[in-house]
Amino acid sequence: MAEALARHSMVKASTTGWAAVMDRYPELASEPIVASWIHAGRPLIVRRPACSDTAGRVPLGLPLPPSHGKRRIALSLAAADIVASAPPPLLADAAAAAPAHWSATIDLLLALLPETRTFGSLAWEHLTGLPYLSESSDLDLLWPLSAVTQAKILPSDIAAIARQAPMRLDGEITAPAGGVQWRELTGDEADEVLVKGPAGVTSTTRAAFLAGAAS
């Protein structure tokens, strides 16, 4: 399962697996919100592996809400301890948790690409019911591509929406090779961009990344 899970996937851990994590990290077990995270039905998010991660385990993250210090907790689980997984939520599904003044921008984003997904503060507020959003929150998005022609016009279309948005639009345009921060794809075709894949970061040109969008 470790290889099959894409970065930003949302996973649920078994209670026994979570108990083992709490045994390994007693400093986390002493925090009630963390200790009860899985029992409350809340997910974890798949992240890129770090040098300190144990080989063969699934690298995961648990971002706490601002009321708990906005900490980003890194941990890992054995694949057998993951009982369910899903892509990050669709923006259309998470929109109800967004501030009212975001609604016009969200409508434009959904009209541009209905398959857009979200993985940041909005996603976590939608998935957990906890207060993640603040006045300074970004809207973190994933724009999955299915056609090269779509890829070539999408960055400029996002930029046009971003110029009028009341929040910062952040996130990646994703293709089979991985994801690229969308602003990097608004430059010249020969510009180098960083591709964040499941195992690490590679570089390529903007033109090469967009050309492989549907491969």
Instruction: List residues with catalytic annotation.
Output: 138, 140
Distance CA 96, CA 93 (A): 7
Nearest to 76 by CA among 98, 54, 96, 91: 54
Distances (CA, A) of 169 to 12, 44, 142, 163: 28, 23, 10, 9
Take residue 6 and report the two structure tokens written for it.
């894409």
Q: Are 186 and 169 in contact (CB under 8 A)?
A: no
Nearest to 89 by CA among 152, 137, 160, 139: 139
